């Protein structure tokens, strides 16, 4: 198991190998109007496998599969104990598993991108597992346990429900399977958890709220937007020309704080971005250090920047704040390496 007390811990590298499937998958599993085919990428490790052991199958989610393989330590920790064959399958339209060769074509129009759905991905995995057993000469009755986290955890749950004959169980971590309309979860439940995380980590919520209110007020005038540009070091390629741009800045900062709360681990990580142990507490300490006894809006705004820099700019090497990585170039906003930044946005809006 990982030693959570080790402050120098880095993301481990696991001994997987990378393959493309020999079998080609239909872009559309559910109709006969599209005959296009593609290959899925998968990672595997059979170093702990012994005959009769299970398959530990990770249902890939919204990113290149390597990121999940390197940050799902529970599979690797358990594999040796259960003599398991470890497999990570990449989700269609992410990473190298592009139905139309590359992301620029796969994402070019809705007639192609429309096949990016959870149902199609589950059907991919249902086709993958029998093929995988045959390809590796494993017994047909080799038990499969499906794993996943976040959206991957939702896929693991749904896969177990939709294809029960293919698995003996599912390990779903942080899987918001009921976080839908009429699902019984309050709309603001996630925001409440994020707020509580910052509150219990030492942040002054009144001052934080004031910082966001100040952004709204300053966003109403050119002079105010220039002040925000100066404080947050906004990249010239994503200028604050309107109140809508300032709203985008607020969402950007809010997103960073949400990711900090989601990955508020007691040890350093590099899953979404490189962050220290207890990143929320670090951010709250930064805020208090910047603001001190000041009660003016600029101090609160600078304090807010010091919080979000824990996620967006831990190393301090990013000279500016870019609100759109496609305009500034490079992976400036962190998050999962997906192959295309629009995939998850599309799924969020359509599913």
Question: 83 and 162 share a domain?
Answer: yes
Task: Judge whether 3 lies within some domain.
Answer: no
Q: Could you list the residue range(s) of the whole structural domain that residue 83 is in?
A: 17-173
Which pLDDT score, from 0 to 100, does residue 340 have? 65
CATH number at residue 248: 1.20.120.980
* Of 143-152, 176-185, 246-255, 288-297, the least confident: 176-185
Domain-embedded: residue 180: no
What pLDDT, in 10s, does the model give residues 92-114? 999 999 999 888 899 999 999 99
Structure tokens given for 214: 């100040």
- Sheet strands (E) in 109-143: none
Does residue 12 lie within any of the structural domains? no
Higher pLDDT among residues 335 and 314, named by residue = 314
Give domain status of residue 182, yes or no. no
Alpha-carbon span 147 to 170, nearest angstrom: 6
Shared domain for 152 and 64, answered yes or no, is yes
Tokens standing for 146? 């499906």
Q: Which of 79, 75, 74, 18 is nearest to 48 (CA)?
A: 79
Q: Is residue 184 part of a domain?
A: no
Residues paired with 43 in a beta bridge: 18, 88
Are 23 and 167 within one domain?
Answer: yes
* Mean pLDDT, rounded, for 253-266: 94
Helices 243-262 and 189-200: angle between axes, nearest 10 degrees? 70
Whether residue 46 lies inside any domain: the answer is yes
Residue with tokens 């299970």: 54
Indicate the DSSP class of residue 54: P
Q: What is the pLDDT of residue 128?
A: 98
Q: Which of 173, 206, 241 is the last residue of a domain?
A: 173
Whether residue 22 sits in one domain with residue 139: yes
Where would I find the beta strands (DSSP E) of the chain? 17-20, 25-26, 37-38, 41-45, 55-59, 85-89, 144-149, 169-173
Using 50, 70 and 90 to split pLDDT, how confident is the model at 239?
very high
Structure-block tokens of residue 101? 């060769």
10 in a structural domain: no
- Judged against a pLDDT cut of 70, whether residue 8 lies above it is answered with no
Is residue 64 located within the same domain as residue 23? yes
Co-location of 232 and 326 in the same domain: yes
DSSP string, 271-288: SSS-B-SSHHHHHHHHHH
The two beta strands, 37-38 and 55-59, are unpaired
Whether 332 shows a pLDDT value over 60: the answer reads: no
Q: Are residues 63 and 165 in the same domain?
A: yes
Tokens representing 104 are: 């620029």
Give the strand pairing for 25-26 and 55-59. unpaired
Residues 139 and 41 in one domain: yes
**Residue that finishes a domain, picked among 143, 173, 203:** 173
Q: Mark whether 165 and 197 lie in a shared domain.
A: no
Q: Which tens digit of pLDDT belongs to each residue from 115-124?
A: 999 999 999 9
Residue after which a domain boundary falls, among 116, 145, 173: 173
Query: Does residue 4 fall inside a structural domain?
Result: no
Question: CA-to-CA distance for 90 and 259, rounded, in angstroms?
Answer: 22
> Domain with 101 in it: what CATH number?
3.40.50.1820
Rounded to whole angstroms, the Cα distance separating 92 from 301 reads 40
Per-residue pLDDT, 336: 54
101 and 241 assigned to the same domain? no
Q: Tally the domains of the chain.
A: 2
Is the domain of 101 the same as that of 242?
A: no
Q: Are both 219 and 134 inside the same structural domain?
A: no
């Amino acid at each position: 198991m990982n030693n959570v007390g080790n402050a120098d811990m880095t993301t481990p590298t696991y001994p997987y190998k990378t393959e493309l499937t020999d079998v080609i998958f239909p872009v559309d599993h559910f109709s006969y109007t599209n005959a296009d085919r593609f290959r899925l990428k998968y990672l595997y490790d059979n170093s702990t496998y012994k005959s009769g052991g299970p398959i530990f199958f990770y249902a890939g989610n919204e990113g290149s599969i390597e990121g999940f393989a390197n940050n799902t330590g529970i599979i690797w920790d358990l594999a040796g104990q259960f003599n398991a064959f470890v497999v990570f399958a990449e989700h269609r339209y992410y990473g190298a598993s592009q139905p139309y060769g590359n992301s620029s074509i796969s994402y070019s129009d809705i007639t192609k991108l429309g096949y990016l759905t959870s149902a199609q991905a589950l059907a991919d995995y249902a086709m993958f597992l029998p093929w995988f057993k045959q390809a590796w000469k494993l017994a047909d009755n080799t038990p499969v346990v499906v794993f996943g986290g976040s959206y991957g955890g939702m896929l693991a749950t749904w896969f177990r429900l939709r294809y029960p004959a293919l698995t003996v169980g599912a390990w779903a971590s942080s899987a918001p399977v009921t976080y839908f309309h009429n699902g019984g979860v309050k709309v603001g439940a996630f925001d409440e958890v994020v707020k509580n995380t910052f509150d219990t980590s030492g942040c002054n919520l009144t001052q934080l709220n004031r910082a966001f209110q100040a952004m709204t007020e300053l966003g109403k005038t050119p002079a105010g937007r220039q002040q925000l540009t100066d404080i947050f070091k906004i990249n010239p390629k994503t200028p604050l020309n309107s109140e809508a741009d300032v709203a985008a800045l607020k969402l950007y900062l809010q997103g960073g704080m949400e990711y900090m709360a989601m990955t508020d681990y007691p040890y350093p990580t590099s899953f979404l971005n490189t962050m220290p142990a207890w990143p929320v507490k670090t951010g709250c300490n930064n805020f208090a250090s910047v603001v001190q006894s000041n009660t003016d809006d600029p101090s609160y705004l600078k304090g807010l920047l010091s919080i979000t820099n824990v996620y967006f700019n831990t190393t301090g090497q990013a000279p500016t704040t870019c609100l759109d990585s496609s305009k500034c170039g490079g992976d400036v906003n962190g998050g999962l390496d997906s192959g295309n930044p629009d995939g998850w946005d599309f799924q969020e809006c359509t599913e």
